[in-house]
Structure 1
Amino acid sequence: MRLQDHLYHVIQSLPGFLPETWLAGAFLFIILSEILLKYSPWQLQTTGILRSLTIGALAVALVLVCLQWNDLGGYLFHHLIYLDHKAVFFKLIILVTALLVLLHVQCMQTKLPAEFYSILLAVVLGLFLMTMATNGLSVYLSIELVSIGSYLMVTFGSGKKPAEGGIKYLLFGALSSAIMLYGLSLLYGMTGTLDFTSDVFANQLAQNPPLILLVVGFLTLSGVLFKLSLVPFHVWPPDVYEAAPTPIVSFLSTAPKAAALLLLMRLLSVFPADFQKLMAIIALVSILVGNLAALWQNDLKRLMAYSGIAQAGFIIVGLTAFNQTGFESAVFYITVYVIINIAVFLLIDLMGQDTPSPTLASITGKGAVYPLLSVCFTVLMLGLVGLPPTAGFTAKLLVFSSLWEAYQTNGDPLLVILLVVGLLNAVISLFYYFKIPFYLFFRTSASSPVSSPISYAAIILISLLTISILALFFKTDGLINWIRLL
């Protein structure tokens, strides 16, 4: 193809890349604004101004993404990325998550450096690219853009722990990226292309033994499994969650997982080998490791870290089914999980603001001090367990139903084992999720619980998120029908 044709195709692709172009421009504008504000009369208000500008930039991006729903671009930039309804849906999840996290920062008046806001925009841009990546090059670059920004954000706390958590995150992330890059190099050597949508890619891969494809596929998926915090790439969340500021943990525990789930769906669909057994084993071990480790935790953020490992295992139970129902159930699950997790971390921040590290002991007896927030906390814990009347029950019902449907189709006993172990672990999770309402309502503190002032904005935000989890249980059809359009 001539250079002129290449340039023409790039120009044709730009309208489908408008939200990403806007975010890149906003990223540069926020950096420039930060520099100018430091030498202006509004120097003391720099952080607040940058926060407002970032919220505005994300709101504009939200409008631009909504406009893409009826104006899809298909393949862009010579099959480097692909814009479809799935990408638009997940970009909406990412944007809403980022906006809710900024509201979390606003409600808590969390002290974060001015650089946080530009880095947040860069990470959101990387997550957008992850949702559309269909080429080995775009997959790797988008994951690295997200990872580098994530490493930096983890270090934004005070004291030694954030630096330690950031270094651990960097080391484990670099290892998973190196493994993924090695897998991509093997794929290129086997096929001669990194375009996952190419017929040459599929035909050349099909000529290799299934075992080779499984090994190469697992190596390639390692970067995505790391973002989902699935076994064996699950070591980083406890230290990172404990070290980083709570709003940053809220973002890192939700938005990257959503983007990684869609990327995992795309990658699994292009490999000709049967990955069902491998995904079932990963889901099974992740659920077991996450739930059993969480039983012994007293630090609330570490408890949620191990909970996240188990919940990631439940999410990919839907992918393990390898049917349309399974994909739809996984998307529904991640949507519900994002809402619950954001609300839980905001509650942890609110109830633990009088302590340097929120623990079960620090919330003892606070059910009487914060009755509304404590009831919301209990409802959210019901959602994470998967009990009615919350959308968490619907999410678990859908993923296990898709797994049972897959077992009836192929009769693989491993799927039954995953189903039984998953249901048993949902019961096991009761013992650590219900520690929180137990300490809130049924344990008394040696001293009177400290009542810190809580803004009405935070109470309203928590209430709305909790009501949405209840509403999605009673009115599931709207979200399910939307997901079926993807």
Structure 2
Amino acid sequence: MQLIDQLNDSIRSLSGFWPELALVFAIAILVVTDLVLLTRSKRPSSGQDSVQVQALSKNRSVLYGLALLAVTVAGAFVIGQESQQKGFLFNFVLLLDNQAVFYKLVVTLAAFFAILHAWTVAKTPNPLPLDWLPILLALLLGLYLMTMSVNLLTIYLSIELVSISSYLLTGLSASRKASEGGLKYLLFGAVSSAIMLYGMSLLYGLTGTLALSESVEQLTQNDSFVIYVAGFLMLGGILFKLSLVPFHVWTPDVYEAAPTPVVAFFSVAPKAAALLVLMRVLTALPANFQTPMAAIALASITLGNLSALWQTDAKRLLAYSSIAHAGFLLVGVVAFNETGFEAATFYVATYVFINMAAFLLIDLLAQSHHGSLTIQDFSGLGTSQPLLSAALTAVMIALTGLPPTVGFTAKFLAFSALLEAYQTNANPWVLALFAIGLLNAVVSLFYYLRIPFLLYFRPASTANLSDIYISRPQLILATVLTVPVLALFFKPDWILRWIGGL
């Protein structure tokens, strides 16, 4: 009878698993379609006629269209889950709740924009191999599972699915730099996964169960020091996905080596899913992790900002910027109250538009520089490319956290929740994070606003960017990503009311 009950529960759980099933079918369809198209037309090489080049362009359009359709269908299923009955799935290993639905929408939006980003710059000299599309969908599937994981085993498996897909996407191109970046990513990921798995094994040994909810009852009977050790080890894999100190070392090399649309996705989507896992784990463990989390946030913010000051490559600058923003993202979590968790959720939701706009604009400007763009290459661009310059200025102001952008609103909400937490428990580490975190926001002015300064107050560099051709789809996508950065400053309640109902 028990086996029959488990089978019936699995069948019932399928009704809450449609987005994931849609992605599984989409991955299979993309792979088969790519194989069919390859048999009809060989990939062109130098010396082959334009007919084969046109065939490859058509194949690319078909596969990108299918990938966008798959993400759209999965997103539609996720939206449908808002009105669906919530609860545990597959014998309590997954949990479908309002938080999972919201974070699924965030990562779906990031995947949608990443595919559009790659498609709009597909005619550049080194376009992304089409193999990246099914890998991206597999990564998105892993992120979906991360948002619903409430069991140690499913947390580990979903993070591993995300990590393995990320390693493949990083080293997908044939360049030496991509191979080195992918290898570094793999090595650091393997170490963090081993640490996390060891921590999970300790928790399982202490409690005899893999379920987070059941672990709490068992852990209250154990010494707090043991809980701290096991908890920290388990958090290793989550901190790795968030690019937080001390698991941040891979970030600049991977961001520089991987294709820009892939990096744009890396910078927001895995962080969003990992944030939800982190909040669920921290609230489940019966120990106060506020002080160590405050120290990690403080170290990440400071190291990211100080390292970004010396960068000359635009992508490496945004890599260290993402480390600092991961620390700011953790500020709301450190508050350990409902206001703080809502502020962190708002931060990551708006960060999708800010960061993906930043990487898109950099990719558009790098088209005449063979994929490489230094900070000095922005000189004099304000007059030759006024629209891109205005959008890039707005994005840099948002990353700094200044009005009138949503970056200011996100930081204001996070630090307000942190101040509320300090007034409750008077933790000196919380006060230190509040003070030094705000000071670091001032430090970030020096490297974020250097780009608008070069745009408008320096003459054009020898490598003039005025000959860059921006197509209409590229301009539309840049506008779609940039407008919310400004609009959500004036209307943050569009998202806050949604978050408040989670």
| TM-score, with structure 2 as normaliser | 0.95
In structure 1, the residue matched to 2:325 is 311
**Contact preservation (8 Å) 1:251, 1:342:** yes
SS of the aligned residue for 2:429 comes to: helix
- Please give the residue correspondences for 1:311-390 in structure 2 after superposition, counting only pairs within 5 Å: 311-356=325-370, 357-390=372-405
Matching of residue 53 in structure 1 with residue 66 in structure 2: yes
**Contact preservation (8 Å) 1:123, 1:146:** yes
CA distance in structure 2 between the aligned counterparts of 1:446 and 1:27, rounded to whole angstroms: 44
CA distance in structure 2 between the aligned counterparts of 1:61 and 1:25, rounded to whole angstroms: 11
One-letter code of the match for 1:332? Answer: F
Equivalent of residue 89 in structure 2, options 69, 76, 94: 76
One-letter code of the match for 2:31? Answer: I
In structure 2, the residue matched to 1:182 is 198
CA distance in structure 1 between the aligned counterparts of 2:131 and 2:485, rounded to whole angstroms: 33
In structure 2, the residue matched to 1:300 is 314
Higher mean Cα deviation, 418-427 or 201-210? 201-210
CA distance in structure 1 between the aligned counterparts of 2:420 and 2:398, rounded to whole angstroms: 24
**Contact preservation (8 Å) 1:72, 1:85:** no
One-letter code of the match for 2:87? Answer: G
SS of the aligned residue for 1:75 comes to: strand
**CA displacement, residues 348-404 of structure 1 (integer Å, 9 cap, x when unaligned):** 001111113111122221111111111111111111111000011110100000000
In structure 2, the residue matched to 1:146 is 162
In structure 1, the residue matched to 2:275 is 261
**Contact preservation (8 Å) 2:290, 2:334:** yes
Equivalent of residue 209 in structure 1, options 210, 219, 223: 223
CA distance in structure 1 between the aligned counterparts of 2:256 and 2:458, rounded to whole angstroms: 24
**CA displacement, residues 303-345 of structure 1 (integer Å, 9 cap, x when unaligned):** 0000000000001100000000000000011111111000000
In structure 1, the residue matched to 2:188 is 172
**CA displacement, residues 235-262 of structure 1 (integer Å, 9 cap, x when unaligned):** 0110000001101100111110111111
**Contact preservation (8 Å) 1:391, 1:473:** yes
CA distance in structure 1 between the aligned counterparts of 2:456 and 2:193, rounded to whole angstroms: 44
1:458 CA displacement: 1.4
CA distance in structure 2 between the aligned counterparts of 1:300 and 1:380, rounded to whole angstroms: 14
Matching of residue 231 in structure 1 with residue 251 in structure 2: no
**Contact preservation (8 Å) 1:47, 1:113:** no
**CA displacement, residues 166-216 of structure 1 (integer Å, 9 cap, x when unaligned):** 000000001000000000100110000111122xx2122111222221111
CA distance in structure 1 between the aligned counterparts of 2:474 and 2:159, rounded to whole angstroms: 32
1:222 CA displacement: 0.7
**Contact preservation (8 Å) 1:46, 1:114:** no
SS of the aligned residue for 2:404 comes to: coil
Matching of residue 466 in structure 1 with residue 479 in structure 2: no
SS of the aligned residue for 1:445 comes to: coil
CA distance in structure 2 between the aligned counterparts of 1:302 and 1:430, rounded to whole angstroms: 17
In structure 2, the residue matched to 1:402 is 417
In structure 1, the residue matched to 2:34 is 34
Equivalent of residue 222 in structure 1, options 225, 231, 236: 236
**CA displacement, residues 230-289 of structure 1 (integer Å, 9 cap, x when unaligned):** 000000110000001101100111110111111111111100000100110010000010
CA distance in structure 2 between the aligned counterparts of 1:397 and 1:157, rounded to whole angstroms: 40
1:157 CA displacement: 2.9
SS of the aligned residue for 1:82 comes to: strand
SS of the aligned residue for 2:95 comes to: strand
SS of the aligned residue for 2:481 comes to: helix
CA distance in structure 1 between the aligned counterparts of 2:461 and 2:377, rounded to whole angstroms: 11
**CA displacement, residues 411-450 of structure 1 (integer Å, 9 cap, x when unaligned):** 1111111100000000000001011111211122353613
CA distance in structure 1 between the aligned counterparts of 2:344 and 2:314, rounded to whole angstroms: 26
SS of the aligned residue for 2:367 comes to: coil
One-letter code of the match for 1:248? Answer: V
CA distance in structure 2 between the aligned counterparts of 1:46 and 1:154, rounded to whole angstroms: 23
CA distance in structure 2 between the aligned counterparts of 1:93 and 1:446, rounded to whole angstroms: 38
Higher mean Cα deviation, 106-115 or 6-15? 106-115
SS of the aligned residue for 2:88 comes to: strand
CA distance in structure 2 between the aligned counterparts of 1:114 and 1:417, rounded to whole angstroms: 48
Higher mean Cα deviation, 350-359 or 278-287? 350-359
In structure 1, the residue matched to 2:99 is 86
In structure 1, the residue matched to 2:77 is 64
Identity of aligned residues (%): 53
CA distance in structure 2 between the aligned counterparts of 1:263 and 1:298, rounded to whole angstroms: 34
In structure 1, the residue matched to 2:143 is 127
CA distance in structure 1 between the aligned counterparts of 2:309 and 2:197, rounded to whole angstroms: 35
CA distance in structure 2 between the aligned counterparts of 1:456 and 1:325, rounded to whole angstroms: 41
**CA separation of 1:446/1:349 partners in 2, compared to 1, >3 Å: closer, same or farther?**
closer
**Contact preservation (8 Å) 1:352, 1:362:** no
SS of the aligned residue for 1:367 comes to: helix
Matching of residue 393 in structure 1 with residue 408 in structure 2: yes
CA distance in structure 2 between the aligned counterparts of 1:282 and 1:72, rounded to whole angstroms: 37
1:72 CA displacement: 3.3
One-letter code of the match for 1:430? Answer: L
SS of the aligned residue for 1:358 comes to: coil
In structure 2, the residue matched to 1:439 is 454
1:2 CA displacement: 1.9
CA distance in structure 2 between the aligned counterparts of 1:448 and 1:51, rounded to whole angstroms: 32
**Contact preservation (8 Å) 2:291, 2:429:** yes
**CA separation of 1:278/1:37 partners in 2, compared to 1, >3 Å: closer, same or farther?**
same
One-letter code of the match for 2:240? Answer: F
1:46 CA displacement: 2.6
**CA separation of 1:448/1:291 partners in 2, compared to 1, >3 Å: closer, same or farther?**
closer
CA distance in structure 1 between the aligned counterparts of 2:85 and 2:380, rounded to whole angstroms: 52
Higher mean Cα deviation, 150-159 or 187-196? 150-159
**CA displacement, residues 110-163 of structure 1 (integer Å, 9 cap, x when unaligned):** 511121111011000000000000001100000000011100001123420000
